[in-house]
Amino acid sequence: MKPLLTLLLLPLLTFLSHYPPPAVATTTIIDVLSSRAQFSSLITILQHTRMVPLLNSVKTATFLALTNKALANISEPVSRDVMLYHLLNVELTAEDLYNGQVLETAYVRPGYLGDFGHVGQRTKVKKIDWKIGRPEKIIIGGAQITERDLQADNAIIQVIDQLLTPPDDIVKTVASLPALSIFSHLLDLSGLDDLLSQPRPFTVFAPENALSRFNLIEETYLRSEAGRADLHIVIKFHIHEGVLFSEDVPGGKSSLSTLQGEPLEILVEDNSILVSSTPVKTRDIIASNGAIHTLPALLLPAALQWTVRKYLIGLNSTRFVAYLDDVGLGYYLDDTTDGTSFTILAPPDEVFDEEELPAKGSKELEKWMRYHVMPGKWEVARLRDGMLLETELIGEELKGARQRLKVDIEEVKEGKKIRFNQAGLVGEPVAINNNIIYTISQVLPPPPPLIERLVMDLRLSTFITFLHRSGLYSQIHGAQGITLFVPTNVAFTQFDLVTRYLLHPQSKSDLQSVIRYHVADIILYSDDIPTGTSNLPTLDGSEIILNKTAQGHILVSPSSPDKDAVANVTHRDILVSTGTVQIINRVVIPPTLRLTNKDFLRVIHAQTFLDILELANLSHTLLPPADPNTRYTILVPSDRAFSRFNLTKLLNDPVALERVARLHVIPAAVERGEPNGDDDNDNDDDLNTAARFPSLLRDGAEYATLLSASDRVIIRETYLGGGFVVQVAGRWFQDNSQAHVIGVGRSAGGGGVIEIDEVLIPRDIQHGWPGWAVALVTVPVVSAVGVGGWYGWTNWRRWRAGYAELA
């Protein structure tokens, strides 16, 4: 039956096959838009951009349509690309849209979002609850939907209130966001803005506070030319090659590659995304060539390592870094693997003056640079006033020792004022890893050569003179690794006759001995001297004695019981290129130098008095006494003093000659008081104090002479102070009754010589006018002068007051 029915219908089916099927009526996007007058402007744009055939042929789509009102302010022609950006490839009702949704449009820019297929530009949905009971606001790409879900057979139309603009590239998008302004600047500074502007897909995790993880020093470094490489490391750590929207991130833990090389650790948990433990703040900021996700702070790659070099650049000490590199000392600036630490004294760029520096690449410049580096980490808490820090300057001049640098600390209201040599601390010290940096106010030259440093101090000019006279200038100047004890000018004045003796042409060998005795063949800083007594070998071959008290005062004395030469160290640790200088307030006489009274008579030109002593059989008083308890101090008139004296008469009277000679010999020693032990006080250098004179010379002191116990001399201090006279007791207002003290010299064994400017005469020898005659002449003369002076003064006062004599 069925086969028969088929055969009967076959002709009918063959006929119908020659005619097409009947058309089915449809409503397209264009139909819906054309049916409403409010879309007339949009229809015109669609016609001009040749979008009508496309919109009629799409099988499924969502079109974002603009009313005439929305287009009223559009003055520029709208392109086909812009219209394609309003077309989505899927049907989406208002209910299908959700907050944060990323939508793909029909606008394709080849390569921008990947080379695979045709990937359209993205736009983003934002839903806002704005009134209770009212539908949420729906915003797509910045435009609000004003009329929802207009239905066409092949699409859904959502009416929006403004024209959508396709997104800019990542660089321009970042620059448009105020919260990313610093990051935008860093992109430009690093040069990576060119990369992120290319038609390639990237994902950028952009920090809002792009520099918040850095201090000012690190920030300055990263912004500098020298910091470009590290800035690249930081920025590239925030960039993934390829586009990744938040919806594409897998749940749980995952990793994401970066341009820098270190991966980012991603964690999706409880609808939050953490990137290397930092929460994403804003997701899916749309760019033409990728996506931007903002972070509250910067991510730090492990490859970013801070060093002294980078901190110095950040502290504006780039020239200092360049000079260190120039002389091959750059290794001090880069972290060492053995954990060695350094303290760096860094001058800023503005204090460098190339004209004052040694030539680039020179050994001298290397010395300068090494002097700014100290081994160890010297924090402020460890520094104390006066301490000497070892530096990295090591050389032959110091016999392989480290050159030192002095720390001065002054307590002020604001805290501590710290200086390194003459350079002040600027700002606060900066610790980096196991090192510390002090910014200082000027470049530190190494300590100068010995003589150059001594001539800078006017208090030491006498020593320089002695050094030249001794013929040891070159030897002492070239001596390496020494400690030089330098007496002040006043110290030489206190030993005035000794000084004159040493400067005598025949005393050159003794002068050399004294100079060498002040030089120790070792570098000895005050802190290195132990408390108590210690012996120090000198270039003279003898030892010098150092005594450091419990209070820290340092006394210097010869290796003999002669306390007269005990000196205080008044100024410590003056640094020179070959060691150190200690300034003392006494000349220290070596034990090998045994000066006699006769030596002094020779240098003060007292040959006449020397002859008188021999004629009076008193030559033994000129030599060191055989009995240490018998010591003589001789009052010596110079030959000039005898030129005003009737020497012929004296030589013709042997008794008178002997009596005069004995009157000039005091059986007592010239001694000085003990040093006061105040090593930081310059009072011992005051020419107007009694410290200049031996203890024998004190006001009112009275001494017997070899003439007799009753023939005595009295010491008087001059009216203005600073000097003394010797008065013959009982002989007043007569010639040769007193003499001024010109100089003093202490000889070995405690004796000595006091040079005076007049010959003294005993009481019972008449020379010149008697006392009553002097008084007889003096009293009237003084009275006349007084009356005349009073009369003149009275008239002057009357004239000043305006009195005039009446005619």
- C-alpha dist (Å) from residue 374 to 119, 364, 391, 407, 435: 62, 18, 4, 12, 10
Distance between CA atoms of residues 480 and 577, nearest Å: 9
Pairing of strands 342-346, 435-439: parallel
Same domain, yes or no, for 155 and 177? Answer: no
Whether 445 is in a domain gets the answer no
Residues 683-735 have pLDDT tens digits of: 444 433 444 456 678 888 999 999 999 999 999 998 776 789 999 998 887 88
- What pLDDT shows up at residue 458? 93
Q: Return the ∠ at Cα 540 (arms to 536 and 544), rounded to 5°.
A: 25
- What pLDDT shows up at residue 405? 97
Where does the pLDDT of residue 535 fall: very low under 50, low under 70, confident under 90, or very high at 90 and above?
very high
Where does the pLDDT of residue 413 fall: very low under 50, low under 70, confident under 90, or very high at 90 and above?
confident
Average confidence (pLDDT) over 586-615:
91
- What pLDDT shows up at residue 676? 47
Secondary structure of residue 571 in the 3-state scheme = strand
Q: Is the pLDDT of residue 782 over 80?
A: no
Whether 580 is in a domain gets the answer yes
Whether 790 is in a domain gets the answer no
Same domain, yes or no, for 392 and 496? Answer: no
Q: For the residues of 310-350, what is the DSSP string, one character each?
A: HHHHHTT-HHHHHHHHHTT-GGGGS--TT---EEEEE--GG
Where does the pLDDT of residue 4 fall: very low under 50, low under 70, confident under 90, or very high at 90 and above?
very low
- Locate tokens 């239905």: which residue? 151
- What pLDDT shows up at residue 231? 97
Which residues are within 8 A (CB) of 333 and not within 5 positions of it... i.e. 6 or more apart?
307, 308, 309, 312, 321, 324
Same domain, yes or no, for 625 and 760? Answer: yes
Instruction: Please state which of the ranges 225-234, 285-294, 798-807 shows the lowest mean pLDDT.
Output: 798-807
- What pLDDT shows up at residue 771? 45
Average confidence (pLDDT) over 621-644:
86
- What pLDDT shows up at residue 508? 94
- What pLDDT shows up at residue 131? 65
Instruction: Please state which of the ranges 79-88, 300-309, 369-378, 740-749 shows the lowest mean pLDDT.
Output: 740-749
Q: Is the pLDDT of residue 23 over 70?
A: no
Element (H, E) at 705: none
Whether 795 is in a domain gets the answer no
Do 472 and 463 touch, CB atoms closer than 8 A? Answer: no
Higher-pLDDT residue of 187 and 733 is 187
- Number of folded domains in the chain? 5
Average confidence (pLDDT) over 565-591:
93
Structure tokens at 360: 């680039």
Whether 12 is in a domain gets the answer no
- What pLDDT shows up at residue 352? 95
- Locate tokens 């080379």: which residue? 115
Same domain, yes or no, for 503 and 628? Answer: no
Residue 272: which CATH number? Answer: 2.30.180.10
Higher-pLDDT residue of 69 and 792 is 69
- What pLDDT shows up at residue 415? 81
Host domain of residue 424: 316-439
- What pLDDT shows up at residue 532? 95
Q: Is the Cα torsion angle 512, 515, 518, 519 positive or negative in sign?
A: negative
Instruction: Please state which of the ranges 239-253, 430-444, 535-549, 626-640 shows the lowest mean pLDDT.
Output: 626-640
Same domain, yes or no, for 613 and 751? Answer: yes
The dihedral region occupied by 287, where left means phi > 0, alpha psi between -120 and 50, and beta the remainder, is beta
Distance between CA atoms of residues 185 and 210, nearest Å: 10
Average pLDDT over the chain, rounded to whole? Answer: 88
Same domain, yes or no, for 506 and 607? Answer: no
Please state the three-class secondary structure of 201-261 as a single string. CEEEEEEEECCCCCCHHHHHHHHCHHHHHHHHHHHHCCEEECCCCHHHCCCEEEEECCCCC
- What pLDDT shows up at residue 7? 41
Same domain, yes or no, for 601 and 634? Answer: yes
- What pLDDT shows up at residue 760? 94
Percent of the chain with pLDDT over 70: 87
Strand partners, 144: 139
- What pLDDT shows up at residue 502? 92
Domain boundary residue, one of 107, 128, 160: 160
Same domain, yes or no, for 612 and 559? Answer: no
- What pLDDT shows up at residue 339? 81
Distance between CA atoms of residues 47 and 42, nearest Å: 9
Q: Is the pLDDT of residue 518 over 90?
A: yes
Average confidence (pLDDT) over 620-643:
87
Same domain, yes or no, for 636 and 764? Answer: yes
Is 567 buried (19+), middle (13-18) or exposed (0-12) by CB count in 10 A?
Answer: buried
CA dihedral 212, 213, 218, 224 (to 10 degrees): -60
Cα distance between the two ends of the chain: 188
Higher-pLDDT residue of 110 and 771 is 110
Among residues 490, 698, 422, 670, the alpha carbon closest in space to that of 562 is found at 670
Whether 470 is in a domain gets the answer no
Do 346 and 311 touch, CB atoms closer than 8 A? Answer: no
Residues 479-500 have pLDDT tens digits of: 999 999 999 999 988 888 898 9
Average confidence (pLDDT) over 625-630:
76
Average confidence (pLDDT) over 123-152:
89
Whether 186 is in a domain gets the answer yes
Secondary structure of residue 552 in the 3-state scheme = coil
- What pLDDT shows up at residue 86? 97
Whether the pTM exceeds 0.85: the reply is no
- What pLDDT shows up at residue 117? 60
Strand partners, 424: 419
- What pLDDT shows up at residue 686? 42
Average confidence (pLDDT) over 556-584:
89
Instruction: Please state which of the ranges 66-80, 351-365, 610-624, 686-700 shows the lowest mean pLDDT.
Output: 686-700
Average confidence (pLDDT) over 389-408:
96
Average confidence (pLDDT) over 655-670:
91
- What pLDDT shows up at residue 337? 66
Same domain, yes or no, for 654 and 766? Answer: yes
The dihedral region occupied by 158, where left means phi > 0, alpha psi between -120 and 50, and beta the remainder, is beta
Distance between CA atoms of residues 647 and 650, nearest Å: 5
Q: Is the pLDDT of residue 14 over 70?
A: no
- What pLDDT shows up at residue 8? 39
Same domain, yes or no, for 576 and 601? Answer: no
Whether 2 is in a domain gets the answer no
Element (H, E) at 755: strand 752-756
> H-type helices in 72-215, by residue range?
80-84, 170-175, 181-190, 193-196
Residues 263-315 have pLDDT tens digits of: 999 999 888 999 999 999 999 999 999 999 999 999 999 999 999 999 999 99
- What pLDDT shows up at residue 679? 43
Is 534 buried (19+), middle (13-18) or exposed (0-12) by CB count in 10 A?
Answer: middle
- What pLDDT shows up at residue 780? 55
Distance between CA atoms of residues 592 and 52, nearest Å: 122
Q: Is the pLDDT of residue 504 over 80?
A: yes
Domain boundary residue, one of 265, 297, 329: 297
Domain boundary residue, one of 584, 616, 636: 584
Same domain, yes or no, for 571 and 603? Answer: no
